Chain A
Amino acid sequence: MPQSKQDKNIERSWPKEGVIRVPAWIYSDPDIYARELETFHYGDTWNYVGLDCEIEPGGYKRSWVGERPVLVTRTEDGEIHVMENRCAHRGAMLCWKNSGKAKDITCPYHHWAYNLGGDLMGLPFLRGAGGKGGMPRDFDKSKHGLTKLRVARRGGSIWATYSDDVPPLDDYLGPEILERLDRLVSRRPLRLVGYSRQIVDSNWKLYWENSRDPYHATLMHPFLSTFGILRTDGDYDSVPLQEGRHEYTFSRYNPELRNSTSEASRQIKSIRSDLEMRDKEVVNSVVDEFQDGMMGAFQVFPTILVQQYFNCLVIRHIILKGPGKHELTWTYFGYADDDEQVRELRLKQSNLVGPAGFVSLEDSEMLALMQPVVESRPDAEQVIEMGGHGTEAQSTMMTENLIRAFYDFYRREMGL
């Protein structure tokens, strides 16, 4: 990315006010972006790569860690492996199908062949042809397997890391995330419902902030306030976790709110009494499968937001594609023992989220419009004062505490 003279002269130091200000250059500076990848995605973190229901024994799926393509494979013995989707010979992409079955993985370029564990099984013309050419006699195939990542699993979720120092997955997640993750992926075997994928033309942190920002929800997503799913006067918690890395938010769903008008909701213009939802199943949880009346979401740094909207269960996976771009993969899931009614319901409610979701379509559009504006004034500062200056948990939607908590963590890790 070309940098203007003015751009270069910006002082790369954090505003003296602390986490109530965020300097706009962190959303476009290529050096910052490169350091984020090294520090976070390729550093001491656990990266989500997929769900076990996506891969049968003898199968694979593609995923990403940071910008790097990886393969998640399952050998016939059921073991899961994660390895770079990069040929050890000269770096060709081995596999560009999203998922499938395979006995082994053969590179399309010079046909080096690897087993599903990532070991190099063989390569054509190792001994040359007609007594000429070939690899040197001391070429050791066992030293030229695919780059393997360390793998951890929790319930049906699969995680990978490049780090030897990161704490075990359970410690990395912490008890609050574990409880919420287990609630969704560890109690019953999972079933894949489907995917949506979208490219979002913004820095990944804008999206990361967006899902830590309950303040915008009822304002920018009129669907929420119009149909009473999430209103400013309901119970709501915004809780930062593990020094700001992760967070969870949750609200209690109260169908009564649709009919009442309290002071707070009167302030929101988008509540309209002339609109009615034809098919209320989209927002009425007819199956109370968790028996706790909660809806919520949580972020696990640096890759995912896990969300439950009624019976719609979805993981948003943020895949980095450069300083000004990321991909968002939405994986919808359910349970292997779902009956017909629940299967139907999960599909219907999946309309709520995704690239064109009733309550998410505005996010990526807003961020794509925002990115060039933010880039055009790298010297400007974001104002993060809603809910005060603190980083502790709060019981309101009218707060940016989770964004402050994130940048508190971010500054420490990045040395900014």
Chain B
Amino acid sequence: MNEWVRVASVDEVVEGEAFASERKGEAIALYREGDDIYAIGDVCPHETVRLSEGWLENGLIECPLHQSCFEIRTGKVIEGGAAYEDVACYEVKVEGGSVYVGEGRRP
């Protein structure tokens, strides 16, 4: 059963910036591209650090420690960096000015 959890209000998630939040104890980050909002796991699988502290460019979030890159739409890792596992990707819905995310899964 997919449980929706409120994680942000819509205007907290702005283009060009990561919004760090959490869903039932799991660190996640929200990203906006136009009208779409994405949610992916926020802990780098290489060493434990929050990806949302990193650099956001061209649909990729770059880990602040060793620059592994992840697609903000899917959580997929870009190969060749220090990390070689994806982060989870969450289903997102917007309702009444709030952002809700469902169960996470690997792409």
Q: Which of A77-122 contact B (CB under 8 A)?
A: 104, 106, 111, 113, 115, 121-122
Q: Which B residues are closer than 8 A to A by beta carbons?
A: 46-47, 53-55, 62-68, 81-82
Measured CB to CB, the closest approach of chain B to A88, in angstroms, equals 14
* Pair B66/A122 contact, Cβ less than 8 Å: yes
Asked whether any CB of chain B lies closer than 8 Å to the CB of A372, the reply is no
* Docked CA distance A129–B53 (Å): 8
CB pairs A–B below 8 angstroms (28 shown) = A104-B82, A106-B47, A111-B65, A113-B46, A113-B65, A113-B66, A115-B82, A121-B67, A121-B82, A122-B63, A122-B67, A122-B68, A122-B82, A123-B65, A123-B66, A123-B67, A124-B64, A124-B65, A124-B66, A125-B64, A126-B55, A127-B54, A127-B55, A127-B62, A127-B64, A129-B53, A129-B64, A141-B67
Interface residues on A, range: 10 to 19
Nearest Cβ on chain A to B38's Cβ, whole angstroms: 21
For residue A344, give the distance in angstroms from its CB to the closest CB of chain B: 43
CA distance A104 to B54 in the complex (A): 21
Residues of B within 8 Å of A122, CB to CB, are 63, 65-68, 81-82
Contacts of A123 in B (CB 8 A): 65-67
Alpha-carbon distance between A337 and B64 when the two chains are bound, in angstroms: 48
Cβ proximity bits A7-38 to B, threshold 8 Å, 1 near / 0 not: 00000000000000000000000000000000
Please determine whether A121 and B81 come into contact, CB atoms closer than 8 angstroms.
Answer: yes
In the complex, A122 Cα to B62 Cα: how many Å? 11
Q: Write out the residue numbers on chain B whose beta carbons fall within 8 Å of the beta carbon of A141.
A: 67
Known: A124-B66, A126-B64, A129-B53. 15 other contacts (CB 8 A): A104-B82, A113-B46, A113-B65, A115-B82, A121-B68, A121-B82, A122-B63, A122-B65, A122-B67, A122-B81, A122-B82, A125-B64, A126-B55, A126-B67, A127-B62
In Å, the complex CA distance between A127 and B46 comes to 18
Chain B: minimal CB distance from A109 (Å): 14
**B64 to A113, Cβ gap below 8 A?**
no
Give A126 to B54 CA distance when docked, in angstroms.
9
Residues on the B chain within 8 Å of A115, using CB: 82
Q: With A and B bound together, what is the CA distance between A104 and B44 in angstroms?
A: 15
Most buried by B among A111, A124, A141: A124
Question: In the bound complex, how far is the Cα of B83 from the Cα of A121, in angstroms?
Answer: 9
Closest to A123 in B: B66
- Distance of A279 Cα from B100 Cα, bound (Å): 78
The 6 closest A-B pairs by CB, nearest first: A122-B66, A122-B67, A121-B82, A127-B55, A113-B66, A124-B65
Considering only CB atoms, which chain B residue lies closest to A130 in the complex? Answer: B53
- In whole angstroms, how far apart are the Cα atoms of A121 and B65 in the complex? 10
How many whole Å from A16's CB to the nearest CB in chain B?
62
How distant is B20 from chain A, measured CB to nearest CB, in Å? 14
Roughly how many angstroms separate A122 CA and B68 CA in the complex, as a whole number? 8
Residue A121 contacts which of B54, B55, B66 (CB distance < 8 angstroms)? B66
Give the complex CA separation of A124 and B67 in angstroms. Answer: 8
Contacts of A113 in B (CB 8 A): 46, 65-66, 82
B68 to chain A, nearest CB (A): 7
Instruction: Encode contact with B along A333-374: 1 for CB under 8 Å, 0 otherwise.
Output: 000000000000000000000000000000000000000000
Contact partners of B65 in chain A: CB under 8 A: 111, 113, 122-124
CB closest chain-A residue, reference B57: A127
Complex Cα spacing A298 to B32, Å: 69
Closest B-chain residue to A122, C-beta based? B66
Q: How far is the CA of A124 from the CA of B54 in the complex (A)?
A: 10
How far does the Cβ of A42 sit from chain B's closest Cβ, in whole Å?
A: 31
